[in-house]
Structure 1
Amino acid sequence: MNGSSRENINSVSYFILMGFPSSPEMQFLFFGLFSVAYILTLMGNTAIACAVRCDQRLHTPMYIFLGNFSLLEICYVTTTVPNMLANFLSTSKVISFVSCFAQFYFFFSLGCDEGLYLCIMASDRYLAICRPLHYPRIMTRQLCTGLVIFGWSSGFILFVTPVVLISQLPYCGPNVINHFICDPVPLMMLSCSKDTTTQFTYSTFNVIFMIGTFLFILCSYALVILAVLRMPSAAGKRKAFSTCASHLAVVFLFYGSIMVMYVSPGSRQPVEVQKIVTLFYSVITPLCNPLIYSLRNKEMKAALRKTFGTETAHKL
């Protein structure tokens, strides 16, 4: 299809994000609840990033990756939550075609980056616990910097193809998305044509990326747990298990929800279930991550006390 014919077919210049249809009173209630969740998410993840930045004791690869992961979470929630909050107070709930696909691109690119960072952190723990004598030689400053750059950039590169393919589908109406974000599944359903090639490409990308990274993380931590069980020191076991438990909790929170939604997009879940699951990994998980990492980590709590004062850290 050439450019001019596509313009004739694609008559949609904006979409309407229905969000959570309800009474005006409930919309204000949702606005308040999600505003508080968003502010707490920003505060928690900013606190971790600042603690890692300011405390010299945390200038190690594990905490550098954790600090970048927290910054990634801030960017991740900011791609969707401010627009969702604005829609709670809006009657039109309109988002332009370009803005919709921009949100789609940044949200899912940052989601890919989160998965890659979880892989990087799993690899770091594997090297530190299973190969402790070789760890300083392998995890050099140069490799750490390279992994940080790789973790931030790869998602933006990988997700160009799915976004371009879906944006090139013809859209001639309707333009109402029964969701609170520009999600690829309802976007493909709104297309005038059933492009099986695009759907297959998107589904294959999700399956390979999500299952591949998830299995990599599980294998890494399985080897870590086996190594921990062979440790002679009880204190060493407790510290290693505490760190791994925090990481695995975040892994299962993140992957448990996204696999329900995106590994098999052909199996249509009810719309309300899709919204709840999306809400879980886009809002709830980033809110919980700072608590998970700070509550189970003595070094992080000490750094937070040093950076923000004793009173603030004790509240965590």
Structure 2
Amino acid sequence: EVPISPPIPDEDAVLLCEKGNDEEVLDLLRQDKVSINAQDKEGTSLLHVCVKLQRHKSTAYLLDKGANIACADCYGKTPFFEACRYGDCATVSNMLERMTGDERREQILHRYAFGGTVVHEAAARGHAGVIDLLSSVRESLDFANDEGHTPLHLACMKGRISCMRVLLRHATPNMADEEGRTPLMLLSEIRGLPESELKEGQRALIEAGAAVAAQDKAGRTALHHAATQASADAVSTLLDAGADPNTSDNVGRGPLLVAIRHRSAAIPLLLGAGAFISEEIASVAPHYLYKRAALRIVNKRKQCLVHTVLMARHPRVGRDSPFHSLPNDLLLLLF
């Protein structure tokens, strides 16, 4: 008589799977020595592990055998969440096909510990294919996480242009977060995004109806947000779309002052678009721009101009100061 080996503890089976021995675990499943929904002490199931490790054959086998798609670990994350998180379109599609209509909607709208949904996670990580699959279940993807951000907000914050294009078919481009910021504002202030992608994203939002003149709770427009960047790429697109360079925020600061404080390359663009030189600009511009201007001095005339501007550094400078007497085209010599 052949002795029957005892069943494998759930935790050992999950650990074996985490080490990449999923084929061995499947053999144990076929011998009924492991539960199909085995979980370790943290609630991680075999299906969780196979999805994370992108073991498509093992994942498909577990799903065929009825593994629980909605079982949550100690962090509240389900295998369906992990599939969306890792951008596994094949597994997401397979799981959606096995759910009823109510189960699909529940999985998409379920809020996880971080305050968002699977759509938020896919948008933040740039998985446009997953978002496309999820949008087939729910037409509107305008729901916000605990911070007031919709998936479109997150896609813009992270510079996920492909996701943004998919979401624009199912979301409102002017929805504001808790601080009143729209997707266009969030995209315009992002740093490190290639110029072509940044401009493509801005144009897509504007074509979809994003309001260029919208202001957040601090009174800042998308142009204010764009002026915080070192480059002029975001500012140029907004100016071409009709953004007003003289709109002030709640404390009276315009995009030009923001650009000066951040030493942005967009200063000449804003001046060329007719940005007004306020008294505050007259007082702070020399302080922020002296080093930048000094690098561009090539003759005595420009050197004298810089000294003239430096005379306006006093905070109580009035409209009669030398700085206010400088026309915009002459001021451009500083940049």
Question: Structure 2 length normalisation: TM-score?
Answer: 0.17
Q: Which has the higher contact order (CA 8 A, sep 6+)?
A: 1
Question: Structure 1 length normalisation: TM-score?
Answer: 0.18
Larger radius of gyration: 2
